[in-house]
Amino acid sequence: MRVFTEEVRLPVAATDNFGHYDPTLEMDEVLVLEDGVAQQIRSIQQLPVNVLLLLDTGNQLGLKNVNATRDIALRLIADLRDGNRIAVMQFTERPELLQSWIGDKEAAAKALKTKLHSGKSSRMSEALAAAAEQFKEIPPGTRHIVLITDGVEGNGGRFNLAASLKSLNSIQASVHIISYTVLSRKAIEKLNAWRKGDGVQRDGNPASNPVANGDPTLPPGMTRTPSFKLFSKDADPALAKRRADYERATRFSEAHLSEIAAESGGQIFIPESADDLLSEATNIARDIGSQYVVTYRPSRPLALAKSGEYRRVEVASRRVGLYLRSRRGYVVP
């Protein structure tokens, strides 16, 4: 005789008014709705988690810093609790697994220090699909992806939000994101401000710059360097166009990254200065550490679900001062 038990395992972050982890969560304090119907909770536990670091090291315009990405990832590893398992994957034109699942934080850090490298461009949609493959043998409820990226697809890449969400929903992983979007736009603003000068100034003193003063043997406003025009807004029109296109792409990607984080029950952090990058890594490690695994047997059996059926999930607190966050739903296996 065989008895089949259906169970949904849901990661739930529990915090207080100040955003600190609440270590006292009880079953009667949590309300779970599946497709609007209240579910009977069977257990609440804290379990070791599995964290995949997914690192964007493409750098088509020189606006992302692979060393900064490495430092963020190292801080995150250091701040994670002992007993968790970590894997490391980077992506440029293609995804590359640098470290498979391991419980040794020092070994994961070594992989970051010795194997991480930069590339010309990034293809995030392919990387998300490859990341999903790494969770096939990982229990639901303990799956986390930490994505560090600007979310901009490089040449040849085709970002598809629907496909990415479907891939992530199928593995029920919480996605926590550190986005380079604002930092990259600020870097472009500085470059634009510099180009609005003479385009070639080097030391802050126009009188000391012979090119800025012009060449008396040439027409006014011209230099002997064909790629430069004095008083021109853009010294390199093609590069300026690429930067403008990239800036627009970051606004598009920022909205999509926010949607991925919210749908999966994770959070997106968008630092506005380089000093904020490491603190955001600490915030993510704290957020992962504040999560419980809530299990319930769905009132509508999973066996009756259609292939690929999506079920909407809502989690609410029954206690004043307790704040709960979870994924918005899941795809029935």
- CATH number, domain of 284, equals 3.40.50.410
Pairing mode, if any, of strands 143-149 and 50-56? parallel
Claim to verify: residue 97 and residue 213 sit in the same structural domain = no
Residue 131 sits in the same domain as residue 15? no
Task: Note the maximum CA span of the chain.
Answer: 98
The whole-angstrom separation of Cα 172 and Cα 166 is 10
Q: Do 74 and 90 sit in the same domain of this protein? A: yes
Spatial CB neighbours of 95, under 8 Å, sequence gap ≥ 6 = 89, 123, 126, 127, 130, 131
> Could you identify the residue written with the tokens 């060449």?
215
Domain for residue 159, yes or no?
A: yes
Could you tell me if 161 and 273 lie in one domain? yes
Cα Rg of the chain (Å, integer)? 24
**DSSP-assigned states of every residue in 187-224:** HHHHHHHHHTTTS---SS-GGG-HHHH--TTS-TTB-S
Domain count, the chain: 3
For residues 273 and 298, membership in a common domain is answered with no
Residue 73 inside a domain? The answer is yes
CA atoms of 34 and 156, how far apart (whole Å): 39
In angstroms, how far is CA 172 from the centroid of its own chain? 16
Structural domain includes residue 65: yes
Asked if 157 and 126 touch (Cβ cutoff 8 Å), the reply is yes
156 and 273 both lie in a single domain = yes
- Residue-wise DSSP of 61-124: TS-S-HHHHHHHHHHHHHHSPTT-EEEEEEESSSEEEEEEEES-HHHHHHHHHHH---BS---H
Sheet with 85-91: list strands edge to edge: 95-102, 85-91, 50-56, 143-149, 174-179, 268-269
Is 15:290 a contact under the CB 8 Å cutoff? yes
Instruction: Tell me the pLDDT tens digit for each residue of 183-206.
Output: 989 888 887 776 665 444 445 554
Q: Which of 125, 145, 82, 102 is nearest to 253 (CA)?
A: 125
Q: Say which DSSP state 46 is in.
A: -
The answer to whether 211 touches 200, Cβ cutoff 8 Å, is yes
The verdict on 222 and 163 lying in the same domain is no
Output the pLDDT for position 232. Answer: 45
Segment 134-185, tens digit of pLDDT? 998 898 889 999 999 998 887 655 666 677 777 788 888 999 999 999 998 9
Model pLDDT, residue 121: 83
Indicate if 89 and 163 belong to the same structural domain.
yes
Report the pLDDT value the prediction gives residue 190, as an integer from 0 to 100. 82
User: Which stretches of the chain score pLDDT less than 70?
Assistant: 1-5, 62, 155-161, 194-236
Instruction: Specify the pLDDT at position 156.
Output: 58
Does residue 143 form part of some domain?
yes
Please indicate, yes or no, if residue 237 is contained in any of the structural domains.
no
Among all chains, which residue has been given the structure tokens 């969770």?
Answer: 135
Residues 32 and 176 in one domain: no
Q: Within a 13 Å sphere around the CA of 280, how many CA atoms are in the beta-carbon half?
A: 24
Tokens 């999966």 — which residue? 264
Same domain for 149 and 286: yes
Q: Within this chain, do residues 260 and 121 fall inside the same structural domain, yes or no? A: yes
The phi and psi torsions of 8 (rounded to 5 degrees) equal: -105, 130
- Determine, yes or no, domain membership for 323: yes
Please indicate, yes or no, whether residues 209 and 160 belong to a single structural domain of this protein.
no
User: 191 lies in a domain?
Assistant: no
**What pTM value is reported for the model?**
0.83
pLDDT (0 to 100) of residue 205: 53
Domain of 29 in residue numbering reads as 8-46+292-331
Q: Looking at this protein, which amino acid is placed at residue 95?
A: P
Query: Which residue pairs, CB below 8 angstroms and at least 24 apart, start in 198-201?
Result: 198/230, 198/231, 199/228, 199/229, 199/230, 199/231, 199/232, 199/234, 199/235, 200/228, 200/230, 200/235
Q: Is residue 155 part of a domain?
A: yes
Task: Supply the pLDDT for residue 271.
Answer: 93
